[in-house]
């Protein structure tokens, strides 16, 4: 007689982020105990494993003749396939969504264009007016949304992974507040208007440096001190910004508010050429930090035991995140929720391996900001893209928090 015995043993939580090597060791150790692991991740920094005991049992008249353990077969062949399939699905979904959004954004606006007209304009053929609309207005704006969205998405993922805090984003460390203070000062005082992007970039970098100095201790950089320092600088700079706005002339207040909310209106090739090269280099460097962040998320003690300098690593990761945020903010102003929500959605789709989370966060951030800018341009009155991201991001983030506090069984 042949029968299949399957018994559910128990369910437990793993550490927040596991590298492939650690996951392999975990599976191997459980297989040796006669357990089969079924893993699942819901994008909430935690994975759970449901352990099963699976064997083929041969018996005759109630007497055990032999048994075959199927755990090794399932864990060796099926688990890697399902894991890779999940990441492949996330990549395909994000790329298809991004391409469709770009095509729709090129065609829709104050002057709607057909697909044929868009194609002809891209090839510098057809109506000269359509060529001007595509090449001088819509295409640079879409590329700016792609670049800024990618920078904010990866910056948020880097900060959340470095600080091991799902609520971390460029606003937490005061990076955006520093850029905003300098820009608001220039706008309300009416000085050096042409230098606002560069001044905002410098303000963000200086603020990040001050926060890191405040977070430095004798043994390295303290995560708690970093977060508290960022919150303190954000509150201080916010109060100064409010004071400047109250004292400014009415005509300058509107320009300052538009910059605080964040907008892609009027962004052209000049702004794109000035910022895009730095963001592209920072994105490439940021993608190389995936394995390092995986190790940091296992805990400082284990990371140090593996030969990782946690202080130097956090300083390097924070520097790249600062460069991404400062470059993005200098082009478009303060755009919220992209760096906060996008990494959560990516972890929900592809898991918590930061070798995948970082590049996918860049793609997802580009998609989210391009889609938000498309929605901002659809109405009779164009909205600031920062207001649209806040309207979209707030309910989505509430839902993600609910999923985190109520994981599926």
pLDDT digits (tens, 9 = 90+) for 306-331: 778 777 888 888 889 888 888 888 88
Q: How far is CA 10 from the centre of its chain?
A: 33
- Is the pLDDT assigned to residue 25 strictly greater than 60? no
Lowest mean pLDDT among 65-74, 166-175, 270-279: 65-74
Distances (CA, A) of 31 to 67, 75, 152, 328: 15, 8, 41, 48
CA terminus-to-terminus distance, the chain: 35
The tokens of 56 are what?
A: 């083929």
Does the structure show a pLDDT above 90 at 147?
A: yes
406: confidence class by pLDDT, cuts 50, 70, 90:
low
The encoded tokens of residue 326 equal: 């400062």
Q: Are 303 and 295 in contact (CB under 8 A)?
A: yes
Going by pLDDT thresholds of 50, 70 and 90, the confidence category of residue 37 is very low
Contact present, 9 and 20 (Cβ < 8 Å): no
pLDDT band at 78 (very low <50, low <70, confident <90, very high): very low
Question: How many Å apart are CA 22 and CA 298, to the nearest integer?
Answer: 10
Q: Give mean pLDDT, residues 266-289.
A: 88
pLDDT tens, residue by residue, 241-262? 888 888 877 777 777 777 788 8
Q: Residue 43: pLDDT above 70?
A: no
13 forms bridges with which residues in the sheet? 48
Phi and psi at 376, nearest 5°, equal: -65, -25
Rounded-to-5 percentages of helix, strand, coil across the chain: 70, 10, 20
Higher pLDDT, 6 or 308: 308
- Give the whole-angstrom CA distance, residue 384 versus residue 390: 10
Is 60 exceeded by the pLDDT of residue 106? Answer: yes
Alpha-carbon span 384 to 263, nearest angstrom: 5
With CA atoms as reference, report the closest residue to 154 among 398, 368, 396, 334. 368
User: What pLDDT does 255 receive?
Assistant: 74
DSSP state of 149: H
Comparison of pLDDT for 253 and 93, the residue scoring more: 93
Query: pLDDT at position 227, please?
Result: 79
- Is the pLDDT reported for residue 15 higher than 50? no
pLDDT tier for residue 395 given thresholds of 50, 70 and 90: confident
More confident residue, 21 or 392: 392
**Between 206 and 402, where is the model more confident?**
206
Going from the C-alpha of 26 to that of each of 54, 71, 190, 259, the distances in angstroms are 17, 13, 61, 49
pLDDT of residue 66: 56
Winning range, highest mean pLDDT, from 10-24, 57-71, 267-281: 267-281
- Which of 311, 349, 268 has the alpha carbon at shortest distance from 90? 349
pLDDT > 70 fraction of the chain, expressed in percent and rounded: 76
Instruction: Identify the sign of the CA torsion 200, 204, 209, 215.
Output: positive
The pTM of the full predicted model, rounded to 2 decimals, is 0.75
Predicted local distance difference test score (pLDDT) of residue 62: 55
Residue pair 372/392 in contact by the 8 Å Cβ criterion: yes
Mean pLDDT, rounded, for 380-386: 82
- What is the spatial distance between Cα 20 and Cα 354, in angstroms, rounded to a whole number? 11
> Which residue from 319, 320, 291, 317 is spatially nearest to 306, judged by alpha carbons?
291
At 118-133, the pLDDT tens digits run 898 888 888 888 889 8
Name the range with the highest mean pLDDT among 52-61, 81-90, 268-277: 268-277
Q: Which pLDDT band holds residue 153 (cuts at 50, 70, 90)?
A: very high
Q: What is the mean pLDDT of the segment spanning 171-195?
A: 79
Question: What mean pLDDT is reported for the chain?
Answer: 76
pLDDT band, very low/low/confident/very high, at 148 (cuts 50, 70, 90): very high
DSSP at 123: T
Please check the confidence at residue 105 and state whether its pLDDT lies above 80. yes
Q: Is residue 8 scored above 70 in pLDDT?
A: no
């Amino acid at each position: 007689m042949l029968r299949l015995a399957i018994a559910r043993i128990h369910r437990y939580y793993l550490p927040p982020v596991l590298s492939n090597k650690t996951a392999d060791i975990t599976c191997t150790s459980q297989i040796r105990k006669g357990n089969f692991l079924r893993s699942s991740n819901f994008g909430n920094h935690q994975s759970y494993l449901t352990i099963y005991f699976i064997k083929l049992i041969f018996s005759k008249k109630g007497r055990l003749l032999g048994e075959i353990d199927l755990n090794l077969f399932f864990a060796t062949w099926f688990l890697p396939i399902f894991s890779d399939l999940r990441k492949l699905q996330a990549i395909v979904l994000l790329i298809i969504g991004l391409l469709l959004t770009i095509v729709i954004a090129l065609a829709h606006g104050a002057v709607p264009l057909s697909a044929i007209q868009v194609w002809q304009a891209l090839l510098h053929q057809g109506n000269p007016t359509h060529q001007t609309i595509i090449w001088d207005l819509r295409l640079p704006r879409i590329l700016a949304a792609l670049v800024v969205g990618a920078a904010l998405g990866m910056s948020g993922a880097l900060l959340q992974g470095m600080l091991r805090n799902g609520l971390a984003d460029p606003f937490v460390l005061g990076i955006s507040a520093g850029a905003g203070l300098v820009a608001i000062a220039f706008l309300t005082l009416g000085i050096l208007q042409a230098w606002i992007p560069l001044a905002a970039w410098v303000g963000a970098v200086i603020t990040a440096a001050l926060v890191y100095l405040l977070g430095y201790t004798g043994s390295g950089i303290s995560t708690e001190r970093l977060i508290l320092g960022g919150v303190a600088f954000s509150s201080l700079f916010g109060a100064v910004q409010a004071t400047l706005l109250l004292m400014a002339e009415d005509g300058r207040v509107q320009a300052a508010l538009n910059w605080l909310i964040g907008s892609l209106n009027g962004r052209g090739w000049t702004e794109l050429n000035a910022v895009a090269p730095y963001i592209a280099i920072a994105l490439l460097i940021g993608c190389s930090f995936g394995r390092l962040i995986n190790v940091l998320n296992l805990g400082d003690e284990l990371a140090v035991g593996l030969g990782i300098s946690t202080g130097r690593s956090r300083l390097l990761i924070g520097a790249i995140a600062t460069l991404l945020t400062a470059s993005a903010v200098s082009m478009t102003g303060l755009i919220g929720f992209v760096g906060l929500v996008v990494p959560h959605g990516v972890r929900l789709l592809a898991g918590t391996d930061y070798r995948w989370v970082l590049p996918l966060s860049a793609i997802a951030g580009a998609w989210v900001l391009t889609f938000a800018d498309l929605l901002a341009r659809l109405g009779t009155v164009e909205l600031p893209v920062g207001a649209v991201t806040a309207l979209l991001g707030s309910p989505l983030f509430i839902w993600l928090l609910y999923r985190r506090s109520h994981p599926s069984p």
